[in-house]
Amino acid sequence: MILLCFAVHGHLFINVPTVPVMQDSGVIAFVLIKYIKFLQPTAISLLYMAIVLLQAIRLNILLNEYRMFSQTGFTTAMSYVLLTGFFPEWASITPALIANSFVIWIFIQLTKLYNNPSPKSLLFNTGLIVGAAVLCYHSIALLLIIVFFALIIVRPFVLSEWFVLLLGVLMPFYIIGALLFLNDKIGMWQSFVPRIHFTKVLVTNNIWFWVNVGIATILLLFGFITLNNNTNRMVIQIRKNWGIITVMAFIMIPLPFLFIDAGMAATALSMVPFAAIISNVFVYPRKMWWPNILFFLALAAVIHNNWVIIKN
């Protein structure tokens, strides 16, 4: 996996890596601007590699641990690493890339909801993580929809559980608001709240951008087809977990259109559910010729992205 990551992101050792960050997108942006952006290029490259590998391996271990596939393997980690090489915005240290750690963490929490003996404490902790994630990266706020959807499909409706989850989400904002009030800086509260602003970000005449989008769509489509063909063999809990991942994949797509200055970089949040779904392509088929074709399509997108980054 380390060798694959080095191959996918070989451009980082030729071009000076960038840390594209919008100032008001959350705490992660502040940390990147103040502490990471001015590091030596080699340090930034190695840091990026470490982030991608840790996230890929953690997601792979999670799906194997919860038996999301009929057999264990490293296909999820492979899919995640390949996806990071599809677009220049996914091949840089951005708040969205770092926020993927929150996405994985929240999914771990949601998988524990089914038949949990102490759901309220788990829901409160999940809400805390979601609230903290939104403070760290505002565009991740759409996870609120996913978390409440997961609560609907995983557990029977209990009003008190919904209030506990909502209380957990609001708690980090309450603490920040109290600190700002005590320090007479309440006017800064807008900096900690996501700002919705409908915009167009994908209007481009670059044909190769759309080719890469097409390849990613083909991989995702085949992943959905393979997953659907094997759903009947899964137990109820695993089906519900895949339902959460599927909704997460669709919810994350419009991110760059909804938040101020989110841009194409925000779509990096979709890599977690996309990698999970695409990995079905490489797990289930008995005949490997078409998974091999899809792999080389992904590799072609990665090679072209490396060429574009090096050229620029």
Nearest to 124 by CA among 159, 157, 173, 171: 171
The share of the chain scoring above pLDDT 70, in percent, equals 90
Residue 22 pLDDT = 66
In a domain, 286, yes or no: yes
User: What is the band of 226 on the pLDDT scale with cuts at 50, 70, 90?
Assistant: confident
290 vs 240, higher pLDDT: 240
Q: Give per-residue pLDDT as tens, 101-113.
A: 999 999 888 888 8
User: What is the band of 257 on the pLDDT scale with cuts at 50, 70, 90?
Assistant: confident
Q: To 10 degrees, the CA torsion angle through 73, 274, 23, 261?
A: 170
In a domain, 126, yes or no: no
Q: How many independent structural domains does the chain possess?
A: 1
Q: Is residue 302's pLDDT more than 90?
A: no
In a domain, 291, yes or no: yes
Residue 178 pLDDT = 82
In a domain, 173, yes or no: no
Q: Is residue 201's pLDDT more than 60?
A: no
In a domain, 251, yes or no: yes
Residue 261 pLDDT = 61
CA 52 vs CA 84, 173, 206, 311: distances in Å: 8, 29, 27, 23
Supply the DSSP symbol for 234: S
Q: Tell me what the mean pLDDT of segment 170-196 comes to.
A: 77
Q: Give per-residue pLDDT as tens, 12-22.
A: 777 766 777 66
Give the amino acid at 137: Y
In a domain, 152, yes or no: no
- Contact residues for 124 (Cβ-Cβ < 8 A; gap 6+): 164, 165, 167, 168
In a domain, 254, yes or no: yes
Q: Is residue 175's pLDDT more than 60?
A: yes
In a domain, 179, yes or no: no
Domain range spanning residue 85? Answer: 2-100+187-311
Q: Give per-residue pLDDT as tens, 114-159.
A: 777 778 888 999 999 999 999 888 888 888 888 888 888 888 788 8
In three-state secondary structure terms, 196 is strand
Mean pLDDT for all residues in the chain: 83
